[in-house]
Structure 1
Amino acid sequence: MPNPNSKLWLIVADAGRAALYAAESSRGPLTEIQDFIEPNSRLLDQDLVTDRPGRGFGSAGQGGHTLEPSTQPGDVEAERFAKRLAEILDQARAEQRFEMLGLVAPPAFLGLLRKRLPDETARQVVLEIDKDLTRHDADGVRARLPERLFKTPLR
């Protein structure tokens, strides 16, 4: 990945895609570093499940009923994608590729990503925005963020 040792890395994600940006100054532009796609998130739940739901039998009466999965297959794929992104960010933190981290995602996926970030990486988070900005380019994302992305240290 280019742009090692950036001031801020910003991940803009939803359950199926993400873009990683770098910012060198709190008011400056974003530079795209890398895109990530989770191909299974684009499939319908019925395409992710190959077997029919299981059958359950109650203690009273005859016959059975269909058991619905407790978690939807699309949710499982979103969890996997959040875990994959968190691992990438954690490795980059360990390699000191950024000083601060920003997270931009719709509320549900932001929660998944937050949950998956290891504590050390989560401590680097200085900006969280619960919006889906994945359809925008770097300039479009930057236009929808606060003027200052992070506080600059006093010198």
Structure 2
Amino acid sequence: MPNSKLWLIVADEGRAALYAADDPTAPLTEVHDFIGAENRLLDQELVTDKPGRAFDSGGKGRHALEPSTEPGEVEAQRFAKWLAETLDQARTEQRFEMLGLVAPPAFLGLLRKSLPDETARQVVLEIDKDLTRDDAEGVRAHLPERLFEMPLR
């Protein structure tokens, strides 16, 4: 993946695209696609066994326990964590100076929460929309005219 002034991640719970820009008003260049393989599976394919069983507190009946987190949510959390780790590694390698995040609100929150503090400080742009089905031109149309401010030298 090339070095750029700005890296823009456009993601949802199961896939992400990385775009780059070196000029604040330039078009985006798609650099890489990421797909969380687990997120393409159905919930029943993610869970391998039956839910646990428990006795009722006031009687002799038994019932199945429901998981506290849906399997798809767990995989979305894993994908967000993996993306955050990938971005943090790229930051330590000085592959980008600024970072933009575009994702639906729930996944944007997961991604934001997963980013290490040093990488989170690189975030200059956040958009809470699902633009994963758009191409580079379509994504750019939803962004501000100036993606970032050039640092004073």
Q: TM-score, normalised by structure 2?
A: 0.96
Q: Comparing 116-125 with 24-33, which one deviates more in the overlay?
A: 24-33
The one-letter code matched in structure 2 to 1:87 is: E
Structure-2 separation of matches of 1:124 and 1:149: 13
Structure-2 separation of matches of 1:65 and 1:56: 6
* Alignment length (residue pairs): 153
Q: Comparing 51-60 with 89-98, which one deviates more in the overlay?
A: 51-60
What whole-Å deviation, never above 9, does each CA across 1:81-136 have from its counterpart, x for those lacking one? Answer: 00110011000100111100000000000000001000000000000000000001
Q: Within the alignment, does 1:19 sit opposite 2:13 as a pair?
A: no
The one-letter code matched in structure 1 to 2:135 is: D
Q: Within the alignment, does 1:50 sit opposite 2:43 as a pair?
A: no
The offset of 1:154, in angstroms, is 4.1
The one-letter code matched in structure 2 to 1:94 is: T
SS of equivalent residue, structure 1 residue 8: strand
SS of equivalent residue, structure 2 residue 8: strand
Aligned to 1:98: 96
The offset of 1:19, in angstroms, is 0.3
The offset of 1:59, in angstroms, is 3.0
Q: Flag as ranges the 4+ runs of structure 1 deviating above 3 A.
A: none
1:65 to 63, 66, 72: 63
The offset of 1:144, in angstroms, is 1.2
C-alpha RMSD of matched pairs (Å): 1.0
Aligned to 1:33: 31
